[in-house]
């Protein structure tokens, strides 16, 4: 192993002064060879004089070496100490500016060994700064991944971070759900939905490897519709245990640097794990909240939502409409066409009700063939109009059972807070139920107000 000898300048001093003394001894013989009389030159006094001169020149050389070389080495060692102090401060404070290479570089303007050492030092500082930048990026990305469980938020924040850390100008994240690709978040892409059918995305998903599309400046590529002309487009599959969960698409106007691609590799595993957790969370949420037959809210979740809406209505002093409806003579449908056909009727009625409702309304399966709908900000009249609309829609809809057509009607009870003074949301439901009972009693296929 090559090692730095200790006391370089002491060794150098011994060599230089030794060489000076040697020159002092040789010099008189050289003078004799030049023609001066030996009896005048080869005297003790002459030897003492030339050896003293050799000693002084050796000493002067070592002083100069210390001054010139030592001064530069001093600059290097000072910068090294500065880098070390900055690194420590940077690790403690997380302020990566302290690690910026410009702050710690040595100005180099020579081509000799000292200049070479300075350049090597500058490369080292740059590598350290890059390693720190990567470390900080991975840390902040991991923190973000760990702080969200909702897929939409997680994906949109991941995209923001990816754009920032890869210096991409546009991008999108697609997630595979129920057999098809869906855009969950995009930035700077005019028609992101077109990416779902992109061949590049399909190839990345099928092969499980990164696809890079390098684009000559004058070619616009179909399917990648950014607001600028990208030089390079990168499609990365998001793989969890080898299974593709989705794809990341990033487009750069300048092309991706190697360190940006390496950073993307580092983010990959954590991102796939977080996406998988969010997808599982989403599935569990749906399982816990939805009725398995009709895919609308189940009673437990729907009633919790009603409780929230009722509290909000009181707080903001806004009306809250409630509608309870029930399929007429449903037992007969089951008895005539069978239980499976009855199930299909239930699904169809739920679908029709979803169509009749507005955004923000809540629909739940309250019991067997009984449904409850909640209309935030709806007065009794609004709820009555909505009920009438739904009644007509169900009446006009049919379900096919082989060559038989099944038609059903519904009876509806509506009510609204605060027109009806109630103590709590259960009271409101009770009054809607009573109105529904009245509708049944007075002939069915009608809407009654509670
Ligand atoms: N197919 C199917 N039937 C169900 C389901 N849940 C409840 N039912 C049936 O719904 C029927 C409800 O019957 P009833 O309570 O007598 O009411 P109805 O026949 O609709 O009569 P009215 O409400 O008075 O018009 C029963 O036959 C239940 O078996 C379900 O999930 N699927």
Cα torsion at 248, 252, 256, 259 (round to 10°)? Answer: -70
Domain extent listing, the chain: 8-133, 153-286, 299-449
Q: If we measure between CA atoms, which residue out of 357, 434, 428 comes closest to residue 390?
A: 357
| pLDDT for 86 beyond 70 | yes
pLDDT in tens, 18-65: 999 999 999 999 999 999 898 888 899 999 999 999 999 999 998 998
For ligand 1, whether the C-beta of 334 sits within 6 Å is: yes
CA distance 124 to 105: 9
Average pLDDT value for the chain: 88
Task: Check if the interface score ipTM surpasses 0.95.
Answer: yes
What pLDDT was estimated at residue 5?
57
433: confidence class by pLDDT, cuts 50, 70, 90: very high
CB atoms < 10 A from the CB of 181, how many?
20
309-333 mean pLDDT: 95
**Dihedral class, residue 188 (left if φ above 0, else alpha if ψ from -120 to 50, else beta):** left
The H helix count followed by the E strand count for the chain is 14, 12
pLDDT score of 427 = 94
CA of 28 from ligand 1 middle (Å) equals: 129
How confident is the model over 396-421, as pLDDT tens digits? 999 998 888 999 999 999 999 998 78
Closest CA to 58 of 15, 8, 11, 25: 15
Is 227 close to ligand 1, i.e. is its CB under 6 Å away? no
Question: How many angstroms does the Cα of residue 348 sit away from the middle of ligand 1?
Answer: 15
Residues identified as active-site: 369
What's the rounded mean pLDDT across residues 133-142?
84
User: How far apart (Å, rounded) are the C-alpha atoms in residues 409 and 387?
Assistant: 12
Structure tokens at 450: 């509670």
> Does the CB atom of residue 368 touch ligand 1 within 6 A?
yes
291 lines ligand 1 (CB under 6 A): no
CA distance 347 to 15: 99
Residue 126's pLDDT is 83
440 Cβ below 6 A of ligand 1 = yes
- Residue 328 DSSP label: T
Which of 254 and 437 is assigned the larger pLDDT?
A: 437
Band of pLDDT at residue 338, cut at 50, 70 and 90: very high
**203: number of CA atoms within 13 Å, CB side?**
10
**Of ligand 1's atoms, which has the minimum distance to the CA of residue 328?**
25
Q: What atom in ligand 1 is closest to the CA of residue 340?
A: 1
Q: Which atom of ligand 1 is nearest to the CA of 411?
A: 25
**Domain 299-449 is in which class?**
alpha beta
Atom of ligand 1 nearest to the CA of 330: 20
- Does an H or E element contain 373, and which? strand 370-376
Q: Report the pLDDT value the prediction gives residue 118, as an integer from 0 to 100.
A: 81
3-class SS at 4? coil
Nearest CA, atom 7, ligand 1 = 368
**Residue nearest ligand 1's atom 31 by CA:** 368
Say if 153-286 and 299-449 have the same CATH topology. no
- Which helix H or strand E contains 236, and what residues bound it? strand 232-240
Query: Does 71 sit behind a cis peptide bond, omega within 30 degrees of 0 on the bond before it?
Result: no
Judged against a pLDDT cut of 60, whether residue 222 lies above it is answered with no
The CATH code that applies to domain 153-286 is 3.30.450.40
Q: Which residue has the higher pLDDT, 375 or 422?
A: 375
Segment 272-277 shows an average pLDDT of 94
């Amino acid at each position: 192993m090559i090692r730095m000898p200790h006391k370089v300048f002491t060794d150098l001093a011994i060599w230089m002064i030794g060489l000076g003394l040697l020159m002092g001894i040789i010099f008189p013989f050289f003078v004799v060879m030049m023609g001066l009389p030996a009896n005048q030159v080869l005297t003790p006094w002459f030897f003492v004089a030339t050896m003293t001169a050799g000693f002084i020149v050796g000493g002067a050389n070592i002083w100069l070496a210390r001054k010139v070389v030592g001064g530069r080495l001093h600059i290097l060692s000072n910068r090294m100490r500065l880098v070390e102090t900055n690194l420590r401060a940077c690790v403690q404070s997380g302020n990566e500016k302290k690690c910026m290479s410009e702050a710690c570089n040595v100005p180099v303007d020579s081509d000799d060994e000292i200049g070479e050492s300075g350049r090597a030092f500058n490369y080292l500082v740059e590598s350290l700064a890059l390693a720190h930048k990567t470390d900080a990026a991975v840390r902040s990305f991991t923190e973000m991944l760990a702080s969200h469980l909702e897929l939409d938020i997680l994906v949109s924040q991941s995209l923001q971070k990816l754009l920032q850390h890869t210096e991409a100008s546009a991008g999108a994240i697609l997630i595979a759900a129920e057999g098809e690709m869906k855009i969950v978040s995009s930035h700077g892409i005019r028609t992101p939905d077109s990416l779902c059918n992109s061949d590049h995305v399909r190839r990345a998903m099928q092969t499980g490897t990164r696809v890079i599309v390098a684009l000559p400046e004058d070619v616009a590529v179909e399917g990648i519709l950014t607001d600028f002309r990208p030089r390079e487009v990168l499609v990365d599959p998001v793989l969890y245990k080898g299974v593709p969960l989705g794809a990341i698409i990033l487009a750069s106007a300048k092309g991706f640097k190697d360190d940006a691609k390496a950073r993307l590799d580092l983010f990959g595993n954590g991102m796939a794990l977080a996406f998988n957790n969010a997808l599982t969370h989403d599935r569990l949420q749906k399982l816990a909240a939805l009725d398995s037959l009709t895919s609308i809210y189940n009673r437990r979740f729907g009633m919790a939502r009603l409780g929230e809406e009722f509290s909000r209505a009181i707080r903001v002093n806004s009306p809250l409409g409630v509608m309870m409806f029930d399929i007429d003579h449903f037992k007969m449908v089951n008895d005539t066409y069978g239980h499976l056909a009855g199930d299909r009727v239930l699904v169809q009625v739920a679908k029709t009700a979803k169509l009749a409702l507005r955004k923000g309304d809540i629909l739940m399966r309250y019991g067997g063939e009984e449904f409850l709908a909640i209309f935030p900000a709806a007065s009794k009249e609004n709820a009555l109009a909505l009920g009438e609309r739904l009644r007509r829609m169900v009446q006009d809809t049919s379900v096919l059972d082989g060559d038989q057509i099944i038609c059903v009607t519904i009876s509806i009870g509506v009510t609204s807070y605060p027109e009806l003074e109630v103590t709590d949301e259960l009271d409101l439901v009770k009054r809607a139920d009573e109105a529904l009972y009245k509708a049944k009693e007075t002939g069915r296929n009608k809407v009654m107000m509670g």
